[in-house]
Amino acid sequence: MSQTLIYGLSNVLGRVFPFLLTPLLTKEFGPSFYAPFIDFYSAAGILMVVLSHGMETSIFRFVTLEKDKNKVYSTALFSIFLVCLVFVVLGLWFQDPFALWFKNPGKGNFVAWFVLILSLDALSAVPFAKLRIEEAALKFGGIKILNAVLNFVLSLFFLFALPYFVENGSNWAAMLYKPEYGIGYVFLANLLASAFTFLCLIPTLLDIPFKFDFSLWKKFMPYALPIMIAGLGGVINQSLDRQFLKYLLPASTAATQVGIYGAVYKISTFLLLFRQAYLLGIEPFFFSHAQNKDAKKTYAKLMHYFVLVNCIILLGLVANLDLLKYYLGQPKYWEGLSVVPIILIAEVFLGIYLNLSIWYKLSDKTYIGAIISLIGAFLTIVINLVFIPKYGYWASTWATFIAYFSMCAISYKWGKKHYPIKYPMKIISFYLLTSILFCILSYYLFDKNIIIGNLLLFFYLALVFVLEKDSIQKMKNEK
C-alpha cells in the first residue's frame, strides 16, 4: 500500500503542475493562439504509443517469466532506441514540412523540440518500468516530481519572467527572449525537463546491459504489438478529435474550436489524476497476484471502489462547474463548458474499461484489447468525420462518449467468457447511473445551480455512507 501511495502521490503532483499551468496559458493566450499547444500534444499520444510499441507492459509481463530480468530490460530498451533513432532523424530532417502539415508554417523549431521530447520520454519508459518492478518508489516518484516542477518553473520563466526582465531593460533577457516563440516556449521548457529526467535515469540505465536478444524480442512482439494497436485505438479516442477539428472546420473557426475544446477538456484532469494514480500502482499488483486463490475477488472489490470514487469526483466536478470556469482564464473559453459533463462521464467509462482490460493482459489475449480499441477508434473516426462539419466540438464530445461506453460494454461481455470475474454489478450500476442522473439534473435541468448541485452531491454521499457502512465497519474491525 505504501508503494501505491508513493506512486499515486508522485503521479498527482506530477500532473498538478501542468494543471496549474493551463489557466496561466489560457489567460495569456486566446483560443486561436493556444491551439498549437493543444494541436501538437494531441499528436503526442499517438507518437508515444508507436515509439514505445507495447514494450513497457511487455516488461511487466516477461520479468515474471524470464530468469534474466536484465535481458528483458535490455531487449525492450534496444527496440525502443531503434524506433526513436529513425523518428529523430526523420523529424529533424523534415521539420519544416512537418510544421506546414501541422498547419503551423515557419514553426519547424517546434517540431524539432517536439520530436526530441517524445524520444527522450520514450527511452525513459524502460528505466521507469525497472524502478517500479524493483519497488524503488521513492526514486521513481522523486524523478517524476522533479520533472513536473522543472517543466512548470521553466514555462513560467520563459513565458512571464523573461518578458518582464526585457520590459525593465535587462540586456541578458533581451538576448534570450524570442517573442515569436509565444506558446512554443512551453515546448522548450518540456524539452529541458525531459532531458533532465533522462539524465537522472542514467544510473538506472547503466545497470541495463545494452544487448539485443532477438529470440526474446520475437516472444515480445506477439504480446506487445496488440498492446500497441490497442494503445493507438485508445489515443485516437482520446486526442485525434483535435486533428479532425483542425482539418474539417473552416480555417476561420478551426483554431478557436481546437483551443476551446482542448482547454475545457483539461477539467477532466481531476478524474485523470485519480485514474492514473490508481493504475500506476495497481497494474504491477494485478500481475503479481494473478496466481492467488482469491485474486478475482480482490479484482472485483477494487472495481467496486474504483467506480465509487470516480462517481463522487464526477458529481463533485459537475456540481461546481460554474466555479471551475474561472480556471479557464479568459471568458472566451466558457462557451465550451456545456460539453464538460459529457466528457467527464465518458472519462469515467474509460477508467472502467482500463480496469476491465486486465483480463486480456493476464490471459495473454492482448489481441482482444487491440480489437476493442479499434472498434472504439472506428466509432470515433466515423462520428467525427460525419458530424464535425456541422456540430464542431459537440460531435467530438459525443464521439468520445459513444466510443468509451462501447469499449467498456464489449470488454465486460468478452471478459465474462474468457476470464470471468464476479463484479458486484448491481451496486456498481446503481452508483454509476445515479451519479450520471444527478449530473444531468444539476447542470442541464437546474442550469448549473451550484447550491442544488452540491445538495445532490451531499445526498449522493449520504447514500454511499448508508450502503457502504457495513463494509466500512468491517474494515475498521480488520484493523
For 373-394, b/e burial (b = at least 16 CB within 10 A) is bbebbebbbebbeebbeeebbb
DSSP reduced 3-state for 168: coil
DSSP letter string, 374-404 = HHHHHHHHHHHHHHHHHHTHHHHHHHHHHHH
For the stretch 438-443, contacts whose Cβ atoms lie closer than 8 Å and that sit 24 or more positions apart, written own/partner, are: 438/315, 438/318, 439/314, 439/315, 439/318, 439/341, 439/344, 439/345, 440/341, 442/315, 442/318, 442/319, 443/318, 443/321, 443/341
Torsion angles phi and psi, residue 166, rounded to 5: -65, -45
User: At 455, is the pLDDT very low, low, confident or very high (cuts 50, 70, 90)?
Assistant: very high
How many angstroms separate the CA atoms of 152 and 173, rounded? Answer: 19
How many angstroms separate the CA atoms of 292 and 294, rounded? Answer: 6
Measured in residues, the chain has a length of: 479
What's the average model confidence in pLDDT over 248-252? 85
Closest CA to 161 of 187, 190, 189: 189
Give pLDDT, residue 116.
94
Taking all residues of the chain, what is their mean pLDDT, rounded to a whole number? 84
For 318-338, b/e burial (b = at least 16 CB within 10 A) is bbbbeebbebbbeebbbebbe
**Pair 359, 419: CB distance under 8 Å:** yes
Residue 57 burial (CB count, 10 A): 21
Closest CA to 17 of 144, 197, 117: 144
User: At 1, is the pLDDT very low, low, confident or very high (cuts 50, 70, 90)?
Assistant: very low
What's the average model confidence in pLDDT over 431-458? 92
Task: Please provide the distance, in angstroms rounded to a whole number, between the alpha carbons at the two ends of the chain.
Answer: 14
Q: What is the pLDDT of residues 168-187, one digit of tens each?
A: 878 887 888 888 888 788 88
Which range is most confident: 5-19, 117-131, 175-189, 295-309? 117-131
How many angstroms separate the CA atoms of 416 and 441, rounded? Answer: 33
Q: What CA–CA distances, in Å, run from 353 to 356, 369, 376, 409?
A: 5, 10, 11, 8
pTM > 0.85: yes or no: no
| Whether pLDDT at 479 is above 60 | no
How many angstroms separate the CA atoms of 393 and 262, rounded? Answer: 10
For the stretch 378-384, contacts whose Cβ atoms lie closer than 8 Å and that sit 24 or more positions apart, written own/partner, are: 379/403, 379/406, 380/236, 380/237, 380/240, 380/241, 381/236, 381/240, 381/244, 384/240, 384/241, 384/244, 384/248
Q: What is the pLDDT of residues 295-335, one digit of tens each?
A: 778 788 888 889 999 999 999 999 999 888 888 878 888 88
**Pair 124, 275: CB distance under 8 Å:** no
DSSP letter string, 286-297 = HHHTTTSTTHHH
Closest CA to 37 of 199, 182, 208: 182
Copy the grid coordinates of residue 336: 465550451
